[in-house]
A and B are shown apart, each in its own frame.
Chain A
Amino acid sequence: MSHAVQERPVALSKPRGPLSHARLPRWTPAAVAAGSIAAGIGIGLAAGWHSRTQWGMLAALLFVLVSYALTSKVEGARQAKDRVATSLVWVCFVLAVVPLLSLAWVTISKGIAVLDVYFLTHSMNGVLDAEAGGGVYHALLGTIEQVGIATLIAAPIGLLTAVYLVEYGKGRLAKAVTFFVDVMTGIPSIVAGLFVLSTWTLMLDFGPSGFAGAMALAILMMPVVVRSTEEMLKLVPNELREASLALGIPKWRTILKVVLPTAIGGITTGVMLAVARITGETAPVLLLVFGTKLINPNPFEGAQSSLPLYVYEQYQVGTDQSVARAWAAALVLIAFVMILNMVARGIARWKAPKTGR
């Protein structure tokens, strides 16, 4: 809507001139963009720069400068500033999209080469580093179990904490909790891993297990769950609570039966997004689960593997075959995370609270 308004010439700014003054034709930005890309490539080739990054940056610079020069000549200084801002925003967009698209493209194209049903259903048992074959099943199973346990620990605690903050919390304790939840969001994942290592593994002398990894992941997950649940609970209209309380229903039942169900869509989304985030964590898992080539379905005893750890290990080994496996596992990992994300967003849209924007 703001669109339509802006396209119109601004008459107020120059009261003395004609009502509408000179404008560049609408195709100018596109033409300038094409021109600067061509110039960027041309100059790059002429100067013999090897790096495409430089060509692109030069093109971007030319684009901004040329559009500024043109506009300030034809339309005036204010319009020129506006045009520069627009070009800069477009450049930002392209600048960001290029590496991210490249990331997606590389992962998919490299990963798909090895990825098949065999890869998904076999472990690495007895596969030598320089041999092709083997699979990711043990790591996938490990990831699912560790993330599942982490969710079982973190989701209830996070949810109840959010309930406390929104429904009960007041005074110092609530303030402290709010503050430390924020601080906790910023805990580096490796620090969480070190904490579990120094307590669970070094002090209590437990062996490496999927569970140890899950605890570190739970620490990382809790604050995320608290924050998102808190936001969702705040969106629940007070009228609902008041209506329920007015009917003489105890507060705890009001929360359980009215408040939480109303916000359940958003809460689920928040939890799933948190799950997606911890699924990709490598550092704490690296310190805690030991890693294995075999399938170990028991997360409480013995070494397990996990997808991000598998990617890292295979990359470290460094043979062509193992790097190919690393890419394929990376693709599996991305797919897993993306599916979680999409389901979460689907739920969010499907069950969006009525008060949402």
Chain B
Amino acid sequence: MVTTTPPATDQNRSRRASSAVRPGDRIFSGLSKGSGITLLVIMAAIAVFLTYRAVLAISDDSANFFTTFEWNPAGDPPVFGIAVLAFGTIVSSVIAMAIAVPVAIGIALFISHYAPRKLAKPLAYVVDLLAAVPSIIYGLWGAIFLVPYLDGLNQWLDQYLGWTYIFDKSADGVARNMFTVGILLAIMILPIITNVTREVFLQAPKMHEEAALALGATRWEVIRMAVLPFGRSGIISASMLGLGRALGETMAVAVVLSPSFALSLHLLDPGGGTFAQNIAAKFNEADAYGRDALIASGLVLFVITLLVNGAARMIIARRKEYSGANA
């Protein structure tokens, strides 16, 4: 997408030269600058208000907010903590990423380099459309169709990989567990990651690929030498985009998971929870204080996504310089 360079300094210079400052110009630039500032203000306001509410809640929390395995803000004294939620959010996202990123790269390569031309175009289009399917529908489908289908897989994993501890199914029950949530999240973020990676792969310099081919490289070698290195920053940013979605996904998780406030590494046992799922599940019954407690957990989620996004930015920025030097 980023093909041409943005209007650069020469243009700014021309503006400065002719800056007899027309009122229209001043108004328009003021307006556009104002919108930019509005955006910043909104971000700041989100941070400030969530923090304010969260501080109200946390200051009355009789237990440690970060290490407690319980959620009972209505209790006397109120006790709630985010340990289980943070753990669940991270575990489900990690599972989702572990599945979705390689598969998404595969599909992106399929569309950009392997599929017959006639198939590639409509396929890309379909993937685009799938990225827009609302999450509640993934949730509905997950709860009613995916869960029964994964039961057998769960038993099989338990039987043959039970010794790994994480795949040891210690409690009975249908597959409403973190593993299923991870798979569902993977399916949800797959189109998003595929979309961005495909764009990047398509932009890999044709010359490099052709040069590699001319030297007798196989198709895989071409991809490994010319396409993947070029696309690395794109893959990272696409993954981060997907990760952001997975971390904050609410409805699909809320519908599929059988939550509990017990910390367990047994992925196949029902239980666990995520920030967003917990908010959706507890919100309606919560009293005013309980809502503040939920907002506090929302703030933690906000900070986590902020960190992830910031990290992605920095990785990409560094990569850009690096690959720019190479190109």
Contacts of B174 in A (CB 8 A): none
Which DSSP category, helix, strand, loop or mixed, fits chain A's interface?
A: helix
| A51 lies within 8 A of B39 (CB) | no
The A/B interface has a contact count, at CB < 8 Å, of: 331
Given A85-B223, A188-B301, A189-B248: A194 touches B150 (CB 8 Å cut-off): no
Q: How far is the CA of A54 from the CA of B309 in the complex (A)?
A: 36
| B107 lies within 8 A of A283 (CB) | no
| A282 lies within 8 A of B107 (CB) | no
Which of B8-16, B60-68, B73-81, B259-267 has 4 or more CB atoms under 8 Å from chain A?
Answer: B8-16
With both beta carbons as reference points, the residue of chain A lying nearest to B31 in the complex is identified as: A160
B161 to chain A, nearest CB (A): 13
Given A51-B153, A161-B39: A166 touches B7 (CB 8 Å cut-off): yes
A164 to chain B, nearest CB (A): 4
Q: Which of A10-39 contact B (CB under 8 A)?
A: 10-13
Q: Does A88 reach chain B (CB closer than 8 Å)?
A: yes
Q: Does A241 reach chain B (CB closer than 8 Å)?
A: yes
Contacts of B25 in A (CB 8 A): 250-252
Contacts of A10 in B (CB 8 A): 216-218
Q: How far is the CA of A102 from the CA of B6 in the complex (A)?
A: 43
Q: Does A338 reach chain B (CB closer than 8 Å)?
A: yes
Q: How far is the CA of A156 from the CA of B33 in the complex (A)?
A: 12
| B7 lies within 8 A of A238 (CB) | yes
Q: How far is the CA of A231 from the CA of B165 in the complex (A)?
A: 47
| B12 lies within 8 A of A170 (CB) | yes
A257 to chain B, nearest CB (A): 12
Q: Does B324 reach chain A (CB closer than 8 Å)?
A: no
| B35 lies within 8 A of A161 (CB) | yes
Question: What mask results when residues 284 to 328 of chain A are scored 1 for a CB within 8 Å of chain B, else 0?
Answer: 001100000000000000000000100110010000000100110
With both beta carbons as reference points, the residue of chain A lying nearest to B240 in the complex is identified as: A186
Q: How far is the CA of A194 from the CA of B52 in the complex (A)?
A: 12
Contacts of A86 in B (CB 8 A): 114, 219-220
Chain B interface (Cβ < 8 Å from any Cβ of A): 1-8, 11-12, 14-15, 18, 22, 24-25, 27-29, 31-40, 42-43, 45-46, 49-50, 52-53, 102-107, 109-110, 113-115, 125, 128-130, 132-138, 140-141, 143-146, 149-153, 155-156, 187, 190-191, 194, 209-210, 213, 215-223, 240-241, 244, 247-251, 255, 275-276, 279-280, 283, 288, 291, 294-295, 298-299, 301-302, 305-306, 308-310, 313
Smallest CB-CB A-B distances: 3 pairs? A280-B134, A51-B152, A188-B248
Given contact pairs A49-B152, A92-B107, enumerate 5 new A-B contacts (beta carbons under 8 Å).
Answer: A13-B216, A50-B152, A252-B25, A282-B136, A333-B137
